A = this chain, B = another copy of it.
């Protein structure tokens, strides 16, 4: 069972982060499943299922720390499995299910961003000053929707070291005509007195309501909490991690030192260790609410979203099933 070249390329792109951002990774993985399915040349439904599970596994391993990746893949695979258990299932029907559910995932992912914008923007009042960090599509959706509603808002964006995603955020907002100020990450507490609300995105939301997001988010949330400034996290529900219910720790990826210092510096100062964690963890006590496409929730209700989404969270058989999976 050969994996199609195009799918291999996608896996490589995710691994090397040519494709990045939790949402983009998820949608690209869904698309890869369609491609793999269409490229399948065999005639056995059973073989097809094994093939698709192999693809799914390879995709999930491409970036083991991104929760949106397995969530997207499982969205499709669970529907495929369920359908293939029916007596009337055929290979064609199975391929149809993959196509439909992958496209459905992609469509819902875009709708979620729009919906988060609609819901979240209601929490922004005319005249408010917003602080955001990094370059989150969901957070920007909230801000830009509020702007389109005619509210006069102003935004502060952190430059977001080491990769300066804040430069992109500032450019986008400037184009929308929103007054925008760019500041170094370390100036966050200095400007906090001028901020009315903090709105950031999320990479992963855990079972107990902690939010894993671009490094620096937890510092901003801490400084906001100190100044009674409310902190909102904009997160599509597929960023909620069911594995964390079972104790799984979210691994924090550490990236290449040369993102932080030029290679010469490392060469000239070989004893200097440079550490470059991509994310940090903001505890629920510093988050006022999470804005999802299904409504606004307190972080402690993340587990409710997980139960709604995955149906089996906190239920006995889930645990049994999972054990089974681990043993086989």
A45 close to B (CB within 8 Å) = no
B120 and A247 within 8 A (CB): yes
Residues 199 to 245 of chain A near chain B (Cβ within 8 Å): 207-209, 215-216, 218-219, 222-223, 226-228, 244-245
Stretch at the interface among A4-12, A14-22, A53-61, A181-189: A181-189
Known contacts A247-B121, A294-B319, A226 near B215 by CB under 8 Å: no
Shortest Cβ distance from A244 into B: residue = B296
What count of chain A residues pass the 8 Å CB interface test?
91
Min CB distance A131 to B, Å, is 12
B300 and A298 within 8 A (CB): yes
Min CB distance A141 to B, Å, is 12
Q: How many copies does the complex hold?
A: 6
Q: Which residues of B contact A295 (CB under 8 A)?
A: 207, 245-247, 303, 313-314, 319
B187 and A216 within 8 A (CB): yes
Q: Which residues of B contact A216 (CB under 8 A)?
A: 184-187
Q: How far is the CA of A269 from the CA of B164 in the complex (A)?
A: 15
Residues 276 to 328 of chain A near chain B (Cβ within 8 Å): 276-277, 280, 283-285, 288-289, 291, 293-305, 307-308, 313-316, 319
Q: Sort A-B residue pairs by CB-CB distance and give the 6 closest, nearest first.
A: A186-B216, A122-B247, A245-B295, A119-B247, A227-B228, A300-B300
